Structure 1
Amino acid sequence: MGHLITLATSLNQWALDFEGNYRRVLESIRIAKQRGASLRVGPELEICGYGCLDHFLEGDTVLHSWEILALILASDEALDIVCDIGMPVIHKNVTYNCRIIIHNRKILLIRPKMWLANDGNYREMRYFTPWAKHRQTEEHYLPRIIQQVTGQVKVPFGDAVVSTVDTCIGVELCEELFTPASPHILMGLDGVEIFTNSSGSHHELRKLNTRIDLIREATQKLGGVYLYANQQGCDGDRLYYDGCALIALNGKVIAQGSQFSLNDVEVVTATIDIEDVRSHRTARSRGMQAAQAERYQRIEVPFALSDDTFGRAPTAKMEPHFHIPEEEIALGPACWLWDYLRRSRTQGYFLPLSGGIDSCATATIVYSMCRLVADAANRGDIAVITDARRISGEPEDSTYVPVDAKEFCGRIFHTCYMGTQNSSADTRGRAKELAQSIGSYHVDLNMDTVVSAVQTLFSTITGCKPRFKVHGGSSAENLALQNIQARLRMVIAYLFAQLLPWVRSRTGGLLVLGSANVDESLRGYLTKYDCSSADINPIGGISKTDLKKFIAYAQGSFDLPILESFLTAVPTAELEPITETYVQSDEADMGMTYNELSIFGRLRKVEKCGPYGMFTKLVNEWGSTLSPVQIAAKVKLFFFEYARNRHKMTTITPAYHAESYSPDDNRYDLRPFLYPASFPYQFGKIDATAKKLPDRTTEGTSSREDPGVD
């Protein structure tokens, strides 16, 4: 006997967009029923959106969630199907992150989350309380607007399972899958055969395999069906929730949704034979453990998920699909940018295009977004076409369809090369050719008169004329003259972003894109309030190493030969005069390579190393190529520069989160910004230890500057 089980996932919900979220939930239920489904599961907190943050502390958010749930319960679409729906619930004056199981205008169970995500990007315990009464329920009195629909006054609230005529369903929420003692283990031993997991899990490079491994493992030893629903899209913050809904049976994946998509609703379906679960659970050792398992309260309901239809084949197992990191960079930030653009009600993006690899990567990601829009338009996606018409300023009766990525890019993407006397013909040429290749509306200007005006103002007021270092100036003069150029670029960027649509006889304004990578932010190698200060930054969570690999990938995949010249160019800010003996270099300015920065970043954030801990690890890893004293010097330089530039992270542009060592002060990396930058005790201990350790470098390699990174 087959069960057709549908997972409605990748709902692109938007925080506080109650009406839009309601429409998407109903559409997912409609599609699920159309495919013959008897069970539908949606993403975490889908009614209000996962990213409400401190709005979860407002009574309005809970009230409006109940109002939307009442509409769903009353709708014909929600009849004759079990639906697992997420929203916040206040029980006895305590707010919980809950799943509400409904069927035929009745609430069967309200299941609160027991283990909350409370690290990294997540602060669930700021808003919610975990349910601590495991395998216990209480009575929850329903709001009157729900009573009027369901005829119920109170329903079970707590840790229970739903027992149907033919099987048993248990609920697990997001973080609970990642905990060492996940609830599905005890539920499975007590006879639960179908597990649902509603998630709000964000994209991070190379992270998906961890999630899929855990989902497969959940039923590999235990047996059972695991339905995993995840939000997809930007729901209002730095995160992109990357979908990838999964249905697994006895440790094998039988259905997988897309990881990156412009779709607002995606439904993943699979047909399973529940007898396969029972035959998988015949092991004697499993039976002995199950016989001793603690009992879950069963909420009994007189309906079956299965029917007596024959001739329906169960869904075959499949190998899960993983994008390579280069594809993840091409797709994740691009989808995030599209959501941000269409929801911000602006007319496009503006990017200061410097001719360097970072702004090149940002421009290429915007072009990738345009490619996705064109692909969706060619498939006839009405929602994407409608948004594209509005964004590009088309009238309501327009028949325009953005089927050509380059043409659409010219409508919504604006680039500008802001040159000075310190700029080279190479960077200007690369910027222009890239703009032509992707089709952006490009402006090329010299800003020397603006820079000169500011310098003249300073000299007039003070009577002093600052000089660059190559002209005999001090370090303070040299840095100030560089920062003038960088900060004026930010001012000019916002001027052009506000007025370029007007120049083109259009209305509205543009969002300014930043292009500082995660390594530069970590090191503080950027000017505060320069053109790295923008509205959003699609590459702010991506390392220089990964960006180079992405550019190499896009060169062939996007047919952009010009990208080769960006890969071979020496990274330079071009803020100092070029002479016969001096050309400014980013890595020389920083005193460390980008590869080293990636290593420092991972040790600092992911492996939680302080200065001394980082030194001891690197002595083991780099000891064959660098002496302990050399390693000590590199570690001390990194922490000194990190500490004295940390204040820059307090104003960093909101960036797409993609890397586990992001230094984003506003959300992900909660550390002080006023440090004893010389770390006297820590550095002293490093120096003392370095002097005692033997030098293990071999002759001819001890001066190597870059130990490298994979």
Structure 2
Amino acid sequence: MPHFVTLAACVLNQWALDFDGNYARIRESIVRAKACGARLRVGPELEIPGYGCQDHFLESDTRQHSWEVLARLLRDPALHGILIDTGMPVLHRSTQYNCRVLILDGAILLIRPKMHLANDGNYRELRWFAGWTRPASIEDHVLPQIVADVAGQRVAAFGDALVDALDACVGVELCEELFTPQSPHVAMALDGAEIIINSSASHHELRKLQRRVDLIREATLKCGGIYVYANQQGCDGDRVYYDGSAMVLANGRVLAMARQFSLADVDVVLATADLDAVRAFRAAASSRSLQAAAESASRFPRVAAAIALATPCALGTCAPSRPIAVRLLAPAEEIGLGPACWLWDYVRRAGLGGFFLPLSGGIDSCATAVIVHSMCRLVVAAAPDDARVLADVRRITGLADYVPRSARELAARIFCTAYMGSANSTPATRDRARRLAHAIGSHHIDLDMDAVVAAVVALFARVTGRTPQYAVHGGSAAENLALQNIQARLRMLLAYLFAALVPWVRGTPKALLVLGAANADESLRGYFTKYDCSSADLNPIGSISKADLRMFIDYARVHMQLDILSEFLAAMPSAELVPAAEGGRLQSDEEEMGMTYDELSVFGRLRKIEKCGPYSMFIHLLHLWHFDADVGLSPQAVAEKVKRFFFYYSINRHKMTTITPAYHADNYSPDDNRFDLRQFLYNSAWSWQFRAIDSAVEQMAVSHTIS
């Protein structure tokens, strides 16, 4: 008889502390997996309370309610007959662990604590959990009474063990452990684990999925075996978006893979793998067999599971899944889908009526508007087949029988854009904003705010007896900046006013969420006004560089058939906050910043990803900009660019403390609130660091003279 095992990797859109909703989604995924013939079901990391509980993990309530949900799963006879992997926090001997709990037929087989914790970037697991430091060992865990009564057992095995089913051996690996140099799956596979399960809460970043696939493929190519990877999906209450992509691989081949971005709350990916093929693959690798037989090889304790994972079937009636080709999205596609799904999760869970966006006619607000358009496209595509999506649409719009027929039609009901013009605005930006709004279907408002600006300036003049002037009219730098900031900050005030009252004017029931549109480059440089219209409820593009946004707009121009976007790509970036100079010359963002957006992206990636301070950044840039003949900048010019960047970065860093919560899309993100933990008060002279740069420039000059 063939040994074909059907396995289920689940993608759930869990929500931190939503115990009712989380339980319902877990149960639905188990029922669906079982109905499809799966004998093993794997769910996302910490799926019972939700991964993003953060400091709520320190509360006894979170643990208590997690045990209550687990007890409910244990007592449900509909969930018997399948080996279930689920996740929750567990307090063991007064120490809290991030755990997997494996259950079968109403009993707990194993509580497996996470050994290697994620504690960088967006992750702070060491704040709430300890790592299990005793690999290949277990001890008894005394169960709380509520679970002991249901399971009929007083204690359960706690620690790092393998689960021995009647016909296969299962090892457990948790998220970060896959990414570590000494991943547990290696020792488990050498000790006979044929199936490795991994429960993850891995967030989306541009270009990141390739790494996950490569790591799992390499694990199964090197060790042989079946790897079942489950992942969370959706916005569970924070800036990150978990992008699903559950998968099953065997001996280096991808057998099944879930969608990377989906509006579905529950997605179950199934694959049937051949255990005999795993055993043959391993037996053929003599070096692997020698390592497995070595005295130094780890020997894991075993926990028995009274279930056969192989599906009984007659010859010719069932077959293993055939390998599939993995399609990895281009970064431009990811920008169009990840933030769109994040926005949908946020608006449907916030209970509001849609979004309001100040649409300036520039590329940043254009990209934000197109992301909302992408969201509407996804919703319209999903609504006919997903009752939950349709129910959310009706609740948001307040229309009990509404069925969206197009993205433009839906946008007209849930998306409002506004061009907030002033005397300094140009007809070109006003016209671009109007035509983009028409193309995507948003309810568009075109207003002039000169009367409001004039009223504020008049109030100042009445109080002080002085009237500020723009620089082109002879005003000082302080006057010029203040007059620009008045316009920028009034746009924030107007945005919130219109977001609150436009639905009332239109006779719709709910206020709108205000969207910001500041990109990662401008945030890094501080080239925005604190508390201007970049201060909003959400910012879909806050960790995306200008270069990536332009790439996305070019992609959307073709694939979303938005011809108007070519004009945004051709336009010069301009804040349009001052009158045109003599000869009609417009304000230029790059001229005012003293650096190009491309240069800013280089500074940002060296600062954050390469961990460069001023001196090491100068050394890196010498190779990029001085020794490269195509650029050919002098060492002095490179030094001045580096010093200019760090000066403006440091004097504007305080702005990041109040930045709008932004979708996390890239390791390049300068988000101060969670991801990029640096001070906001600097000595902007950087005297020691800049002297080191100047000394290096002098040494190069002397060396060049001598040579």
| 284-293 or 486-495: bigger deviation | 284-293
The correspondence of residues 478-489 of structure 1 with structure 2, limited to 5 A, is: 478-489=480-491
Q: Taking structure 1 as reference, are residues 560 and 695 closer, same or farther at Cα in structure 2, changes over 3 Å only? A: farther
Deviation (angstroms), 1:166: 0.7
Deviation at 1:678, TM superposition (A): 1.5
Alignment of 1:153-172 (within 5 A): 153-172=154-173
1:317 equivalent to 2:305? Answer: no
Corresponding residue for residue 672 of structure 1: 679
Q: Which residue of 2 aligns with 1:304?
A: 308
* Amino acid paired to 1:537: N
Q: Is the 8 A contact 1:162 1:298 kept in 2?
A: yes
- Per the alignment, residue 197 of structure 2 pairs with 196
CA shift for structure 1 position 696: 12
Separation (CA, whole Å) in 2 of partners of 1:529 and 1:223: 55
Q: Residue type of the partner of 1:152?
A: Q
Q: Deviations over 1:303-358 (max 9, x none)?
A: 21113313211111122110001100110000000000100000010000000000
Paired amino acid for 2:8: L
Length, aligned pairs only:
693
Match of 2:427 in 1: 425
Give the match for residue 528 of structure 2: 526
CA contact (8 A) 2:422 2:449 kept: yes
Partner of 1:700: none
Match of 2:650? 643
Kindly provide the amino acid, as one letter, of the partner of residue 238 in structure 1.
R
Provide closer, same or farther for how the CA distance between residues 399 and 2 of structure 1 changes in structure 2, counting only shifts above 3 A: farther
Give the whole-Å Cα distance in 2 for the aligned partners of 1:532 and 1:127.
Answer: 33
Deviation at 1:581, TM superposition (A): 4.7
Q: Distance in 2 between matches of 1:223 and 1:119?
A: 30
Residue identity in the other structure for 2:644 = L
8 Å CA contact retained: 1:358, 1:515: yes
Q: For residue 123 of structure 1, report the CA deviation from its aligned partner.
A: 0.2
Q: Which residue in 2 is equivalent to 1:693?
A: 700
Alignment of 1:619-658 (within 5 A): 619-623=622-626, 624=628, 625-658=632-665
How far residue 3 of structure 1 moved from its aligned partner, in angstroms, is 2.8
2:341 equivalent in structure 1: 335
1:426-467 per-position Cα deviation (integer Å, ceiling 9, x unaligned): 000000111111110111100001001111111111111111
2-side partners of 1:463 and 1:34: how far apart?
79
1:8–1:29 contact (8 Å) kept in structure 2: no
CA–CA distance in 2 between the matches of 1:221 and 1:146?
40
TM-superposition CA deviations, 1:169-217 (whole Å, max 9, x none): 0000000000000000001111111000000001001111111100111
TM-score, with normalisation over the residues of structure 1?
0.96
Separation in 1 of the partners of 2:78 and 2:492? 51
> Quick check: 2:468–2:475 contact (8 Å CA) kept in 1?
yes
Residue of structure 1 in register with 2:600 after alignment: 597
Query: Counterpart of 1:319 in structure 2: which amino acid?
Result: A
- The 8 Å contact of residues 334 and 366 in structure 1, kept in 2 or not, is answered as yes
User: Offset at 1:5?
Assistant: 2.6
The one-character-per-residue Cα deviations of 1:93-139 (angstroms, maximum 9, x if unpaired) are 11100000000001000000000000000000001110111111111
* 1:205-604 correspondence runs (5 A): 205-282=206-283, 283-292=285-294, 293-310=297-314, 311-378=317-384, 380-394=385-399, 398-579=400-581, 580-604=583-607
Identity of aligned residues (%): 60
CA contact (8 A) 1:2 1:312 kept: no
Give the Cα–Cα distance (whole angstroms) in 1 for the partners of residues 702 and 276 of structure 2: 64
2-structure distance, mates of 1:569, 1:52 = 43
Partner of 2:612: 609
Letter in 2 for 1:582: R
State the alpha-carbon separation in 2 of the partners of residues 72 and 302 from structure 1: 18
> What is the distance in 1 between the residues matched to 2:4 and 2:267?
20
Say whether 1:114 aligns with 2:104: no
Q: Which runs of 5+ in 1 are unaligned?
A: 698-710
Q: Which moved more, 1:468-477 or 1:174-183?
A: 468-477
Aligned 8 A contact 1:377 1:403 in 2: no
Following TM superposition, the consecutive aligned residue runs of length 4 or more in structure 1 with deviations greater than 6 angstroms are none
Tell me the SS of whatever aligns to 1:77: helix
Q: Offset of 1:692 from its aligned partner?
A: 2.0
Distance across 2 between alignment mates of 1:207 and 1:628: 35
Contact 1:170–1:184 (CA under 8 A) maintained in structure 2: yes
- CA deviations 1:266-310 (Å, max 9, x no partner) are 000111110111111122211111012121000022321113313
How much does 1:694 deviate?
A: 5.3
Give 1:687 deviation, angstroms: 1.0
The CA distance in 2 between the partners of 1:690 and 1:276, in whole Å, is 62
CA contact (8 A) 1:261 1:335 kept: yes
Distance, in Å, in 1 between the alignment partners of 2:3 and 2:287 is 28
Partner SS, residue 601 of structure 2: helix
- Judged with a 3 Å threshold, the aligned counterparts in structure 2 of structure 1 residues 594 and 696 are, in CA distance, closer, same or farther, namely farther
Farther off after superposition, 553-562 or 36-45: 553-562
Range that drifts further, 554-563 or 420-429 = 554-563
Task: Report the secondary structure of 2:77's partner residue.
Answer: coil
| Separation (CA, whole Å) in 2 of partners of 1:417 and 1:507 | 23
Counterpart in 2 of 1:702? none
Look up the match of 2:9.
8
Q: Is the 8 A contact 2:492 2:532 kept in 1?
A: yes
Q: Does structure 2 retain, via aligned residues, the 8 Å contact 1:176–1:183? A: yes
Q: 1:540 to 1:695 in 2, by over 3 A?
A: farther
Matched residues in 2 for 1:463 and 1:389: separation?
A: 55
Partner in structure 2 of residue 701 of structure 1: none
Shift of 1:76: 2.5
Q: Secondary structure at the match of 2:223?
A: coil
* TM-superposed deviation, 1:8: 3.4
Q: For each residue in 1:399-446, what CA deviation from the matched residue of structure 2 results, as whole angstroms up to 9, or x when unmatched?
A: 211121100000000001100000000000000111111110111100
Matched, 1:175 2:176: yes
- Partner of 1:270: helix, strand, or coil? strand
Cα distance in 2, alignment partners of residues 647 and 229 from structure 1: 39
Give the secondary structure class of the aligned counterpart of 2:479: helix
Please tell me the root mean square deviation across aligned C-alpha atoms, in Å: 1.2
Task: Output the CA distance in 2 between the equivalents of 1:659 and 1:263.
Answer: 24
Cα pair 1:628 1:695 within 8 Å, conserved: no
SS of structure 1 residue aligned to 2:260: coil
Secondary structure in structure 1 of the residue aligned to 2:181: coil
Asked if 1:659 is matched to 2:662, the reply is: no
Single out whichever of 258-267 and 309-318 deviates more from structure 2.
Answer: 309-318
Q: CA deviation at 1:690?
A: 1.3
Task: Report if the CA contact (8 A) 2:347-2:354 is conserved.
Answer: yes
C-alpha deviation, 1:695, in angstroms: 11
Q: TM-score, normalised by structure 2?
A: 0.97
